Structure 1
Amino acid sequence: MSQQSTPKPRGLLSLETLAQQVQAGVIDTVVAAFPDHYGRLLGKRFDAEYFLQEVSDHGTHGCDYLLTTDMEMNPVPGYRFASWELGYGDFHLVPDLSTLRQASWLEKSALVLCDLEREHQGLVTVAPRSLLKEQVRRSAELGYQVLAASELEYYLFTTSFREAQAQGYRGLAPAGWYIEDYHLLQGSRVEEYTGAVRRHLKHSGIPVENSKGEWGLGQHEINVRYAEVLEMADRHVLYKQCMKEIADQMGLSVTFMAKFANGQAGSSSHLHLSLWREGQSAFAGTGAEGSEVFGWFLAGWIAHAEEFMPFYAPTVNSYKRYEDGSWAPTRLAWSLDNRTAGFRVVGRGQSLRIECRIPGADCNPYLAFTAALASGLDGIRRKLEPPPAFRGDIYAAQHLPRVPYTLGEACERFAQSPFVREVLGSEVQEHYAHFFHSEWQAYIRAVSDWERQRYFERI
């Protein structure tokens, strides 16, 4: 990862260009979207002419319950932000016009991401995009620009989403039938889908680097070009949305679960991050291990990883990915180009960067990057020294601290952390602690197929 001047990605639109395309009949719909706590895109579809006349300047409204729901869109009680008692009012969706782009996978459509605001109160502090923008602001106060990338893995099935749901997500047909890591023959069999994704992303303002097979049956990865950290988080949620919608159009299905099935590799979202100042990497040093700033940032990121685990691993399923010998990290240590480490340092000189391998494909990138920056910047402020680089098989290093075993354990550490309270504020900490705890409680109350198969007759 090195900073170079790159042309504006193809597919990004100015309001003037959008107006021209609307006039020519090329675009007739604009999707206004924002990420929720799960990282899903929610929003509205507007007639393009109405968007230009009203929404581009004045925004639109959405119900504030959307930041208090569970996965099924049920409003969850217990939030201070919004509740039945408060009447579930509105927040304001303010288009970030720098994100306006053609959504080429949707017919005659453009898309813009929005920030959430309360009238006369500024940004909604608990909104994921607001959290990351605050950490970007704090980075800038210290004189740093943040460059980032996220690698997103997924499983592809020839079963459609509708059929998968009807089958209870059992007996799905994977798109591949043997391990296909870097395997070009298997990759060519799904190129109709993967190629379509690459082309649509490119034409929608999201430059693509490559696609490749991964270790699981039907598992693949698409990597998009790195960018400033907020833009990278935007790219992440957009290319995830694009992939789901193209799969749906083709009668396929794709999952970003961290651990889809026993015995199969988990799906990760490795985060790459570096700090820059005046066009030069602040991480670059004379040796392979980088500058003092690099060491301080790395030390802070590692030191606070346990407290911020729900921001990297937000679901019950996330923690089933952390198995020794599975390519997923289980220990909080760093190493030079070692894929068994939670923190893998790669590149040299201007390309030196930290790859955090802890997040799964189910992470919300805004929250994951928020945690990374808050932790790393604390390391810089306090000039923390990282532990020595580990060499060897970290899975075998039982003395090293381990990532939490469950979402419940991670929730408790997050909720009780003075550091999380300091960097996010008590309101945000309480809000997200309740969100993750509600997810954990829903799991605790559920009766699973595993329990019925194990206990129905034989207990």
Structure 2
Amino acid sequence: MKHSGLIEPAAIQQLIHDGEIETVILAFTDHYGRFLGKRLDADYFADEALLNGSHGCDYLLTTDMAMEPVAGYEFASWELGYGDFHLVPDLTTIRKADWLDKTAIVLCDLFDDKAHAPVAVAPRNLLKRQLENAEKEGWAACAATELEYYLFENSYRAAFEQHYQDLRPAGYYLEDYHLLQGTRNEGFTGKVRRHLKNSGIQVENSKGEWGLGQHEINIKYADLLKAADNHVLFKQCLKEVADSQGLSLTFMAKFATDQAGSSSHIHLSLWKNGKNAFTGDHQLGPVKGTSDYFRWFLGGWLAHVPDVMPFYAPTVNSYKRFVDGSWAPTRLAWSFDNRTAGFRVVGSGSSLRIECRIPGADCNPYLALAASIASGLDGIKHRIEPPECFIGDIYAAAGLPRVPYTLSEAIAGFEKSSFAREAFGEKAFNHYLHFFKAEQKAYDIAVNDWELKRYFEQI
């Protein structure tokens, strides 16, 4: 328990009794992937919430980034009175939040108070439904998400008061893999690695990335639900540690026009009977050393990108990242160990996996992984063949289909997709379609700095 960070449900009461845990956080994510929830007195958690959970206002799944309720949702509204949903702790996720004092955290699933059924539109439930569908067919899947971020020497409050302009990055030259610059930031990064490890999240490595003050910390692959849980815990830990040190960081997909974007590459492999189903015999299929399942999964994942693109790139800012020559994919193609491809195949034998390089660091991992597994399994179901493996610089290739370049373009593809409607269910499909349209509308009516600088005097 001390080494894993995870706490057995039977042990949490003893830790509370001994005074080692004084606060228990009940957490879940909204559509943006942000943690919401409550802090409970540990004794109250042990006596009541451990078995009975708690409640939260259902408007939390109908708000925008500024926490304003958005009209037009069927799930919750002023007309329906904005009632409660039930926060049901997933006791397998209880862990010490090592970066906080005497605090444990547990992730919750959301249930409808009246129907006593999972809330269909909740992000974690959406992924769990896809995993249940996969399990019925005998499939399991493992994934890791590679999160990149920019670190700044300004505090969050100072950044806010400066309108997020002229911030001081933690590095002052391009530092990809540079150990010297990594050492300069080790006071933050090293502490985060230890906190994650002590909170039950196994860290593999950390490194400088391409941009000024840009970094990446990689954590070990896990089953899809655990990978998504680790992803949101990772982000919360980093933000709160930065805040405690008077620093700030951002997971925006594109923080600055002249800097590289921040991604959340998804490494995924499909498993059956405890073995990687992507590996096979050299005689199977046109792709050497892989199985038919690999080809069809890749074919489906690639083919359905236009159907589910908002789940990979959910904000207007997400699409500023898709620039040729920027390490972000701009074409829908696949290749072996080729970082210009949207889908990069890496590893060999039991480690063979597909890396989807499309999602940005701003994605909600529950939604992105739900889209990934649904797309790939549909490829297997319908035996969708991938295009030919591309060799060379995909940025320079003519004729390849491109990723959607704007949120409005992605919404249009999502809205007309019969696949997305069927895969996620009518209720969830309509809910997220409304969410993405509301996000686009908020941008369309806003006046931004670019407009002021361009038109204030010159027009």
TM-score range, shorter chain: over 0.9
What amino acid sits opposite 2:241 in the alignment?
I
Aligned twin of 1:149: 144
Deviation at 1:184, TM superposition (A): 0.2
Residue correspondence of structure 1 range 193-232 to structure 2 within 5 A: 193-232=188-227
Candidates 261, 267, 270, aligned match of 1:272: 267
CA–CA distance in structure 2, aligned partners of residues 450 and 279 of structure 1: 53
Letter in 2 for 1:236: H
Alignment of 1:373-412 (within 5 A): 373-412=373-412
Listed one character per residue, the Cα deviations across residues 61-113 of structure 1 (whole Å, up to 9, x for unaligned) are 00000000000000000000000000000000000000000001011100000
Distance across 1 between alignment mates of 2:364 and 2:126: 12
SS of equivalent to 1:308:
helix
Instruction: State the match for 1:3 in structure 2.
Output: none
Q: Does 1:180 align with 2:151?
A: no
Determine the C-alpha separation between the residues in 2 that align with 1:64 and 1:249.
31
1:250 corresponds to 2:240: no
Take 1:142 and 1:298, find their aligned partners in 2: how far apart are those partners? 18
- Aligned amino acid, residue 106 of structure 2: V
Q: Would the aligned equivalents of 2:2 and 2:198 in 1 still touch at CA under 8 Å? A: no
Q: CA–CA distance in 1 between the matches of 2:439 and 2:224?
A: 27
Q: 2: CA distance between counterparts of 1:158 and 1:224?
A: 24
The amino acid of 1:113's aligned partner reads: L
Is residue 265–residue 360 contact of structure 2 (8 Å, CA) maintained in 1?
A: yes
Runs (5+) with no aligned partner, structure 1 = 1-6
The yes-or-no answer on 1:369 pairing with 2:364 is no
State which of 4, 10, 13 in structure 1 corresponds to 2:4.
Answer: 10
- Per-residue CA shift, 1:21-79, capped at 9, x if unaligned? 21221110000000110000100000011101110100100000000000000000000
CA distance in 1, matches of 2:168, 2:174: 15
Shift of 1:15: 2.6
Deviates more, 1:214-223 or 1:19-28: 19-28
Whether the 8 Å CA contact 2:9–2:92 is kept in 1: the answer is no
Equivalent-residue separation in structure 2 for 1:140 and 1:427 (angstroms): 22
What SS does the aligned partner of 2:56 have?
strand
Please report how far the alpha carbon of residue 9 of structure 1 lies from its aligned counterpart in structure 2 after TM superposition: 6.6
Q: Which moved more, 1:195-204 or 1:119-128?
A: 119-128
User: Quick one: distance in 2 between partners of 1:418 and 1:88?
Assistant: 31
- In the alignment, the residues of structure 1 paired with residue 24 and residue 92 of structure 2 have an alpha-carbon distance, to the nearest angstrom, of 14
**8 A contact 1:332–1:342 mirrored in 2:** yes
Distance 2:53 2:429 in 1: 28
Match of 1:4 in 2: none
The residue number in structure 2 matching 1:431 is 431
Shift of 1:267: 0.2
Deviations 1:397-416 (A, max 9, x none): 12111111110111111112
1:219-267 deviation per Cα after TM superposition (whole angstroms, max 9, x unaligned): 0000011100000000000010000000000000000000000110000
Contact 1:9–1:206 under 8 Å retained in 2? no
Distance, in Å, in 1 between the alignment partners of 2:401 and 2:354 is 19
Aligned length: 453
1:43 to 5, 16, 37: 37
1:289-346 deviation line (CA, Å, top 9, x unaligned): 5110000000000000011010000010000000000000000110000000000000
Q: Does 1:73 align with 2:80?
A: no
Alignment pair present for 1:61 and 2:55: yes
Question: Does structure 1 residue 90 correspond to structure 2 residue 54?
Answer: no
Contact 1:9/1:207 (8 A) holds in 2: no
3-state SS of 1:366 partner: helix
**C-alpha offsets along residues 375-429 of structure 1, whole Å, 9 cap, x if unaligned?**
0010000011111100000001121111111101111111121111111111111
For 1:136 and 1:416, locate their aligned partners in 2 and report how far apart those are by CA, in whole Å: 24
Q: Once the two structures are aligned, what percentage of the paired residues are identical?
A: 65
Q: What is the alpha-carbon root mean square deviation over aligned residues?
A: 1.1
Q: 1:366 to 1:9 in 2, by over 3 A?
A: farther
TM-score of the superposed pair, with normalisation by structure 2 = 0.97
Q: Tell me, yes or no, if the aligned pair for 1:12 and 1:101 is still in contact at 8 Å.
A: yes
Q: Determine the C-alpha separation between the residues in 2 that align with 1:314 and 1:293.
A: 29
CA distance in structure 2 between the aligned counterparts of 1:84 and 1:375, rounded to whole angstroms: 35
Residues 289 and 386 (structure 1 numbering): CA distance in 2 closer, same or farther, change over 3 Å? farther
Q: Do the aligned residues in 2 keep the contact of 1:15 with 1:52 (CA within 8 Å)?
A: no
> Aligned equivalents of 2:280 and 2:9: distance in 1?
43
Task: State the distance in 1 between where 2:147 and 2:2 align.
Answer: 23
Unpaired runs of at least 5, structure 2: 283-287
Find the residue that maps to 2:306 and give its secondary structure. Answer: coil
2:254 alignment partner, one of 238, 253, 259: 259
C-alpha distance in structure 2 between counterparts of 1:258 and 1:289, whole Å:
35
Structure 1 residues 430-449: aligned runs within 5 Å: 430-449=430-449
* Distance in 2 between residues matched to 1:422 and 1:314, nearest whole Å: 20
- Supply the distance in 2 between the matched residues of 1:289 and 1:298 (Cα, whole angstroms): 14
The 2-side partners of 1:20 and 1:59 are apart by: 19
For residue 286 of structure 1, report the CA deviation from its aligned partner: 2.7
Could you tell me how far apart the structure 1 residues matched to 2:412 and 2:183 are? 45
Pick from 281, 284, 287 the counterpart of residue 286 of structure 1: 281
Q: 1:329 to 1:443 in 2, by over 3 A?
A: same
TM-score w.r.t. length of structure 1:
0.97
Match of 2:285 in 1: none
